[in-house]
Amino acid sequence: MKNYLRLLKFLKPQIWLFFVAFICTCISAVLNGVTLLAILPLIDIVFTHKSIVLPATLSPALATFIEKLNSIDPAVLFNIVIACIIPLFLLKGLFFWLQGYLMNAVAYRTVREIRNKLFDKLQQLSLSFYSRKRTGELMSRIVNDTGYINNAISFAFRDLIHESLRLFIYIFVIFSVGGKMSMVTFLLLPLIVWPAAIIGKKLKKISTQTQEKIADINSLLSETISGVRIVKAFSMEEYESGRFKAQNRQFAQYLLKATKRTLLSTPLSEFVGAIAATIVLALWGREVVRGNISFGGFGVVMGSLMSLMQPLKKLTGVHFITQEGLAANKRIYEILDEKIAVKEALDAISMFSLKNKIVFSDVWFKYEENCEYVLEGINLEIDKGEVIAIVGPSGAGKTTLVNLIPRFYDPQKGKILFDDLDIKKCRLKFLRTFVGMVTQETVLFNDTVRANIAYGNLKISEELIMEAARRARAEEFILKLPQKYDTVIGERGFKLSGGEKQRVAIARAILKDAPILILDEATSQLDSEIEQLIKEAFYNLMRGKTVFVIAHRLSTIQKADRIVVVEKGRIVEAGTHSFLLSQDTLYKKLYELQFKV
């Protein structure tokens, strides 16, 4: 029930539109009952020229109404019925269309808002969340799971209201016309609903498995498409096809299980309905023969009874669609309820500056609660304008260390200070404007070269964009592109070489002109000739800034003001290039190993 109520919460912003749709649904259902009741006078009074005869258990109001109908001249009544048919069906069709259109509008708007909420939440979550989740799985939550919510609202809620009202009206007609004899129908209704309840419970479990399998397929697609070069380089096309076919086969099996159970409910419900119809026919057929009920009354009762099957079938489908929606709703709330690891303080400040130094004070960090610490007791002071190189073996914690500065993660222990200000007291957006980054894994977007360079500075002038490209030595290849700066470079910059992508990323950092600069293997994708070309640009970029440089090529960090050596999450030594080479240090061993001195 809690999960169902949380699903209904999504409807709150559309409550007025939902209310109008509900009114149209009620009118549509009532008109269904009116068209059915029109059979009664048409058969008895108009066609057979007999009075309407119903059981003596009628309510006084209905009995009076029947007497008035019986007193009307058949020819007059015929004209009235003929005159009402077209307007009645016109109104019935109009309100059916309106309730369907409005309910779908509610569904589409609701799903739009759910997707917006999910995307906004994904933007707020820290990198630790993304280290636990696959890209394809998150895509599935936004695209596929919200699709089930759409079905639950546009079809399930609509049919739940419309078909429930129709069911109520048909039962009302049966009991009003048939009297106490209709009690047998009431007793048999639970038997018709019972198969749907049993099957629906099993279907919810299958639906959860189906949605999880869609996430697996999306994840596999994301990996193989983004890594297509590696797949082809290692001739793994058949292997990846096999993986996809295995996942797709399991998905099809889950769908078949769900279909088998869904289809089973219809013949079961119809069989019980046929039993009910046979009993009613046997009981009321005798009443028609005895003259206790007119043929028109019998026709209305049988028509209502047979009409019960359609809403019952649809309500069975509603139950199944709702179960799928509830399973999807649970998965959606797993994202929406996810705690944000990196939060702003309530009294966070927007305006601050770095006057003297950045301080790491006894910083400890690990990615997961049950994992080992990646950084242990880091104590480091960096003067404003100092160029710090961070080196060490792979997995030592170098990138993790610099990722704490823009608060991609927060340490479990210790503090990071700008002068005397804990960065946790800074507004995240303002803090990150202070930090420029060029990383080893170049991230570009499926947009123009201009938009990628100006990312984060979308209102910047054309002249500054071109100046940044020139300083990054990127303009030479940009001007050779088909549309120059307006060339769309493809997903993740697929149309550019590794070095070209890296130079676009460097131009982006130059344009940002942040006072703190992080270069994480920033020249790793550049060949030696291009690297020499942009060294001057790097030196210009670094001038007057506080710079953190991570590099495996030790030749690129020899001019750093200080080199900090990290091993197994700890700072083991620090000093200038010449000082560290003059001692028996880890840095000296790494240097000799790299250059085979």
Asked, for residue 205, whether it belongs to a domain, the answer is yes
CA angle (572 as vertex; 570, 575 as ends), nearest 5: 130
Q: What is the distance between the alpha carbons of residues 223 and 70, in angstroms, rounded to a whole number? A: 76
Please state whether 487 falls in left (phi above 0), alpha (psi between -120 and 50) or beta: beta
Of 575, 550, 560, the C-alpha closest to 392 is 550
Name beta bridge partners: 349. Answer: 426
Name beta bridge partners: 362. Answer: none
Helix (H, G, I), strand (E, B) or coil at 547: strand
**CB atoms near residue 135 (< 10 Å):** 14
Mean pLDDT: which of 166-180, 288-302, 435-449, 562-576 is highest? 562-576
What is the pLDDT, as a whole number, of residue 182?
63
Higher pLDDT residue, 405 or 10? 405
Asked, for residue 584, whether it belongs to a domain, the answer is no
Q: What is the distance between the alpha carbons of residues 38 and 43, in angstroms, rounded to a whole number? A: 9
DSSP 576: -
Structure confidence by residue, pLDDT tens digits, 119-171: 888 878 877 777 777 777 777 778 778 877 777 777 767 777 777 777 777 77
Higher pLDDT residue, 172 or 397? 397
Dihedral over alpha carbons 549, 551, 554, 557 (to 10 degrees): -20
Q: What is the distance between the alpha carbons of residues 129 and 106, in angstroms, rounded to a whole number? A: 32
Determine phi and psi for 362, rounding to 5 degrees.
Answer: 50, 55
What is the pLDDT, as a whole number, of residue 591?
72
Asked, for residue 441, whether it belongs to a domain, the answer is no
Boundaries of domain holding 196: 2-336
What is the pLDDT, as a whole number, of residue 453?
86
Structure confidence by residue, pLDDT tens digits, 264-274: 666 766 676 67
Of 562, 537, 536, the C-alpha closest to 549 is 562
What is the pLDDT, as a whole number, of residue 231?
67
Domain total of the chain = 1
pLDDT band at 196 (very low <50, low <70, confident <90, very high): low
Higher pLDDT residue, 226 or 585? 585
Inform me whether the pLDDT recorded for 525 exceeds 60: no
Cα separations in angstroms, 295 against 60, 73, 498: 22, 19, 85
Would you state the structure tokens that stand for residue 143, as one six-digit string? 């695209």
What is the pLDDT, as a whole number, of residue 52?
60
Contact, 493 vs 452, CB < 8 A? yes
User: Got the DSSP string for 394-413?
Assistant: TTSSHHHHHHTTTTSS--SE
Cα separations in angstroms, 307 against 158, 172, 253: 18, 13, 34
Q: What is the CATH number of the domain that holds 218?
A: 1.20.1560.10
Unique residue bearing structure tokens 């790494």 = 590
Contact, 361 vs 417, CB < 8 A? yes
Name beta bridge partners: 387. Answer: 547
Q: What is the distance between the alpha carbons of residues 509 and 507, in angstroms, rounded to a whole number? A: 5
Contact, 405 vs 354, CB < 8 A? no
Structure confidence by residue, pLDDT tens digits, 35-66: 766 666 666 555 566 666 555 555 566 666 66
What is the pLDDT, as a whole number, of residue 542?
73
Asked, for residue 76, whether it belongs to a domain, the answer is yes
Average pLDDT of the chain to the nearest whole number: 76
- Looking at residues 320-335, what average pLDDT do you find? 78
Inform me whether the pLDDT recorded for 559 exceeds 80: no
Asked, for residue 574, whether it belongs to a domain, the answer is no
Unique residue bearing structure tokens 């919460």 = 9
Helix (H, G, I), strand (E, B) or coil at 276: helix
Structure confidence by residue, pLDDT tens digits, 442-463: 778 878 888 888 887 777 888 8
Asked, for residue 265, whether it belongs to a domain, the answer is yes
Structure confidence by residue, pLDDT tens digits, 468-508: 888 888 888 888 888 888 888 877 777 787 778 888 888 88
Please state whether 527 falls in left (phi above 0), alpha (psi between -120 and 50) or beta: beta
Q: What is the distance between the alpha carbons of residues 496 and 493, in angstroms, rounded to a whole number? A: 6
What is the pLDDT, as a whole number, of residue 96?
83
Amino acid present at 138:
L
Asked, for residue 80, whether it belongs to a domain, the answer is yes
Cα separations in angstroms, 322 against 3, 265, 267, 326, 343: 11, 15, 21, 6, 35
Asked, for residue 555, whether it belongs to a domain, the answer is no
